[in-house]
């Protein structure tokens, strides 16, 4: 009996999923969960497939516990949960694969060193992704670890979509638009092909709206363009990130207002977006419950920007057949979905208010020219599938 483990390690949380393999070798979720509050008050909650909590642990004095110590604990529990199973490999979400890594691959020292050089391009994510790989290598040096890149799904986009309008030689040096959330979009493309194969063959925008947020325009399930670019800072307004910004602002902050590069980075990544505009919270749910007019303005701007970017992507794929909402806001926040769709009514989107309020799978009316879906993403399953493929190919 065999198993694989998926890890998605972020700055303050680690998501994990344990999959056993069925007779055909397909991954079947056995348990999954999250360690949250790393650095403040870590708490590990794991659930079995039926949703029941199988582990709920916090740590007295956990403020000083880093990713490595928490992963060791998680590993101890996972070992017990998967007793009798051979764990074939651990798959990791790695946010940035740069220009060189377009497909999942087994981690070795050379790959780790190459991925390390990309940390400045994804400072919120990449260092934590790599820290988890290192922590597990120290615990179980023999266990294969597979890196699955968020940039990979966008790798084969038209060359034009990868270019920034800056001097040519910089493109050759890797200063180009990569795109992120690729594991999520790949999963959504596969799932849409099961739910509505006709629409999946056409022109679709997937909206991954979570703390990080982006849109991806696809044709036939392949990425054509996406709102994130060189870094995961570009595009939509996010929880704490600004999204697209006039680069003149960045220059002004530094040359006229005396901010250091580190201060600007901190501001754009951690103090902007919903948090910066509302002054209340980075969390969409908290904003919708707030009476502050600034919170309402932050939501309105989030919606405005999402609709604006969707309009731009509709031009890139020359029309639209389907729209899919996913991630924390996309899957759960009916009012935000309704407001974005209302701004896209001109494109032929009509929402069934009742279906939308229920977070139903299909939320467009039967007469809507564009089919609109809510599909929960599953990056962990995508990681498990890629991990198994790499293990099989190596066998």
Residue numbers of the site for ligand ADP (CB under 6 A)? 210-212, 239, 283-285, 327-329, 332-333
Take residue 198 and report the two structure tokens written for it: 């006709």
Between 207 and 390, name the residue whose CB sits nearer to ligand ADP.
207
Min dist CB 76 to ligand ADP, Å, is: 25
67 touches 14 (CB < 8 A): yes
Between 62 and 212, name the residue whose CB sits nearer to ligand ADP.
212
Take residue 30 and report the two structure tokens written for it: 């056995």
Min dist CB 8 to ligand ADP, Å, is: 8
Between 30 and 281, name the residue whose CB sits nearer to ligand ADP.
281
Whether the CA torsion 55, 56, 62, 68 is positive or negative: it is positive
Min dist CB 211 to ligand ADP, Å, is: 4
Min dist CB 86 to ligand ADP, Å, is: 30
Alpha carbon distance 184, 207 (integer Å): 10
Between 3 and 122, name the residue whose CB sits nearer to ligand ADP.
122
Burial class (CB in 10 A: 0-12, 13-18, 19+), 22: exposed
Min dist CB 334 to ligand ADP, Å, is: 8
Alpha carbon distance 344, 19 (integer Å): 39
- Cα separation values, 147 from 106, 177, 380, Å: 6, 21, 12
Burial of 209-227, coded b for 16+ CB within 10 Å and e otherwise, reads bbbbbbbbbbeebebbbbb
Which single residue brings its beta carbon nearest to ligand ADP?
328
Burial class (CB in 10 A: 0-12, 13-18, 19+), 381: buried
Q: What residues are annotated to the active site?
A: 150
Alpha carbon distance 203, 220 (integer Å): 7
Between 144 and 210, name the residue whose CB sits nearer to ligand ADP.
210
Between 99 and 332, name the residue whose CB sits nearer to ligand ADP.
332
Alpha carbon distance 285, 91 (integer Å): 31
Min dist CB 210 to ligand ADP, Å, is: 3
Query: Within 10 A of 98 (CB to CB), how many other CB atoms are there?
Result: 16
């Amino acid at each position: 009996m065999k198993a694989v483990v998926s890890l998605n390690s972020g700055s303050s949380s680690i998501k994990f999923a344990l999959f056993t393999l069925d007779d055909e070798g397909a991954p079947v979720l056995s348990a999954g969960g999250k360690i949250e509050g790393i650095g403040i008050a870590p708490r590990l909650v794991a659930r079995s497939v039926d949703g029941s909590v199988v582990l709920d642990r916090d740590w007295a004095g956990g403020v000083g516990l880093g990713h490595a110590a928490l992963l060791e604990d998680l590993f101890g529990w996972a070992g017990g949960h998967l007793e009798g199973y051979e764990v074939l490999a651990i798959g990791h979400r790695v946010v940035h694969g740069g220009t060189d890594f377009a497909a999942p691959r087994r981690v070795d020292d050379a790959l780790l060193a190459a991925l390390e050089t990309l940390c400045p391009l994804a400072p919120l994510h990449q260092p934590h992704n790599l820290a988890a790989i290192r922590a597990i290598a120290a615990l179980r040096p023999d266990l294969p670890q597979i890196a699955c890149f968020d940039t990979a799904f966008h790798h084969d986009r038209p060359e034009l979509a990868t270019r920034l309008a800056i001097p040519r030689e910089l493109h050759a040096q890797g200063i180009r638009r990569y795109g992120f959330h690729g594991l999520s979009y790949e999963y959504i493309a596969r799932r849409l092909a099961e739910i509505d194969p006709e629409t999946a063959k056409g022109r679709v925008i997937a909206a991954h709206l979570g703390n990080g947020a982006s849109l991806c325009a696809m044709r036939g399930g392949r990425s054509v363009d996406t709102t994130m670019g060189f870094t995961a800072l570009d595009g939509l307004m996010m929880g704490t990130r600004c999204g697209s910004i006039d680069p003149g602002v960045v220059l002004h902050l530094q040359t006229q207002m005396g901010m250091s590069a580190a201060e600007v980075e901190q501001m754009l990544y951690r103090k902007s977006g919903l948090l910066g505009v509302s002054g209340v919270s980075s969390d969409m749910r908290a904003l919708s419950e707030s009476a502050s007019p600034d919170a309402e303005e932050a939501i309105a701007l989030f919606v405005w920007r999402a609709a604006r970017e969707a309009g731009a992507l509709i031009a890139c794929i020359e029309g639209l057949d389907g729209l899919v909402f996913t991630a924390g806001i996309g899957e759960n926040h009916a009012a935000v979905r309704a407001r974005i769709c209302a701004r896209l009514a001109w494109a032929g989107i009509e929402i069934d208010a009742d279906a939308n309020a229920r977070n139903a799978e299909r939320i467009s009316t039967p007469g809507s020219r564009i089919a609109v879906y809510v599909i929960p993403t599953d990056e962990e399953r995508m990681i498990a599938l890629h991990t198994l493929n790499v293990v099989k190919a190596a066998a």
